[in-house]
Amino acid sequence: MDTLWIIIICLVFSFFASLFLTKRWILIAKQRGITGKDMNKRDKKKVADFGGIMPVITIVLALFLYIFFKTFVLKSSTQLVDILVITVTIILAGLIGFVNDILSLSMTKDVEIVSELIGKGGRGIGGWIRMLLTIPVALPLIVINAGHHFITVPILGHVWVGLAYPLVIVPIAIVGATNGTNLLAGYNGLESWLGVVIFFGFGVMSLITGQLWLVLVAAIVIFALLGFLVFNKYPSQVFPGDSLTFALGSLVACFAIVGNIEKFALILFIPFIIEGFLKWGSNFKAENFGKPRKDGSLKRPSKKIFSLTHLAIWIIEKIKPSHKAYEKEVILTIVFIEIIFIILGLVFM
């Protein structure tokens, strides 16, 4: 079987499996009452929630499918360890995210009290506990000693850090990226569209660096997200939940470390870092949502800007003659900001 056909089969599978599984999940979620309120709509319509586990499952299955073809058809073991490590990392991150989603759904009053004691910030397990629970996601990368043990320091250039790289830098990268992607969310399709453009950027960078296997992994992720976006795009029929944001964040760190493109990953992650600092200004209590008006437009929840989404609303209000921002426009603005940083990353690499 030609390699091109194997790639096509994996990508087609990734799109349609994600599409099918997401559609099935929407039906199951509505039947079981697994729903969330669309906070950017005046009627607060209930939408099927936690559907992001479906593209996560799809990505894992598509990667296993590629490994099967690579092993039994192409008779090659090149990069198999790296692909398996990425796959296991996605499984761990997606599982932790999904458990947090389920806890947020089934939380009793007693558990709420416990949650208040162990950490705040978001639904489900919050605060430092959530961050600590994502440390095991770094284990697959640690045990194979992934990446080069060099970091780039201004003036000094490339500095050898030895074991500090797998034992300190890798866990910090995984925890930071996994939790960071969860900050910039809450708008119809925003997380998925950001994932599409980010991994398109990773695909281009991997192509430039000659890592064709990473290009394929990026393409599999993109096609799974596009299948999910059929139902997640505005107006959403399903929300992703932490399972998708955690998995995408872990993938960002994986691409950076395994592909040795940390500098590029750091640049494209700047919007999420900015989001973290803005949220810090509110002690991580501010929500990303806008306040919906009767005509469907959004206004900032307060005069202060505690999120890039609030900044996007402010920018749109200043630019448009009507001085009104709509959810679609906010999403496009955030995605456009991310694209700018991806381009900057490609230029400065």
pLDDT attached to residue 108: 40
- Token duo for residue 274: 């900015």
Question: Residue 56: how many CA atoms within 13 Å on its side-chain side?
Answer: 28
**Residue 110 predicted with pLDDT over 90:** no
Q: What is the CA radius of gyration of the chain?
A: 20
Q: Give percent of the chain with pLDDT exceeding 90.
A: 81
Per-residue model confidence as pLDDT tens digits over 18-35: 999 999 999 999 999 999
Q: Is the dihedral of CA 4, 5, 11, 15 positive or negative?
A: positive
Residue with tokens 């906070």: 39
> If pLDDT is split at 50, 70 and 90, which confidence band does 132 have?
confident
Contacts of 183 (CB under 8 A, 6+ apart): 272, 275, 276, 279
User: φ and ψ at 67, to 5 degrees?
Assistant: -60, -40
pLDDT at 247 > cutoff 70 = yes
Average pLDDT over the chain reads: 91
> Which position has the higher pLDDT, 163 or 269?
269
Confidence band (pLDDT; 50, 70, 90) for 123?
low
Contact, 319 vs 329, CB < 8 A?
no
Report which DSSP code applies to 347.
Answer: H
Q: What is the pLDDT of residue 1?
A: 66
Distance CA 101, CA 196 (A): 22
In the structure encoding, which two tokens stand for residue 98, read together?
């999904």
pLDDT at 111: 41
CA pair distance 52, 338, nearest whole angstrom: 21
- What pLDDT is attached to residue 104? 79
Long-range contacts of residues 99-104, Cβ cutoff 8 Å, at least 24 apart: 100/124, 100/125, 100/130, 100/133, 100/242, 100/246, 101/49, 101/50, 101/53, 101/241, 101/242, 101/243, 102/50
Inter-axis angle of helices 170-180 and 270-280, nearest 10: 70
Q: Which pLDDT belongs to residue 168?
A: 93
d(CA 177, CA 247) in angstroms, rounded, equals: 10
What is the pLDDT, as a whole number, of residue 157? 66
- Helix, strand, or coil here: 241? coil
- pLDDT tens for each residue of 286-341: 899 999 999 999 999 999 999 999 999 999 999 999 999 999 999 999 999 999 99
Residues of the chain with pLDDT > 70: what percent?
A: 92
Distance CA 237, CA 246 (A): 21
Tokens for 241? 């939940």
Query: pLDDT at position 299, please?
Result: 95
82 contacts 274 by C-beta, under 8 angstroms: no
Which pLDDT tens digit goes with each residue over 50-79?
Answer: 999 999 999 999 999 999 999 999 999 899
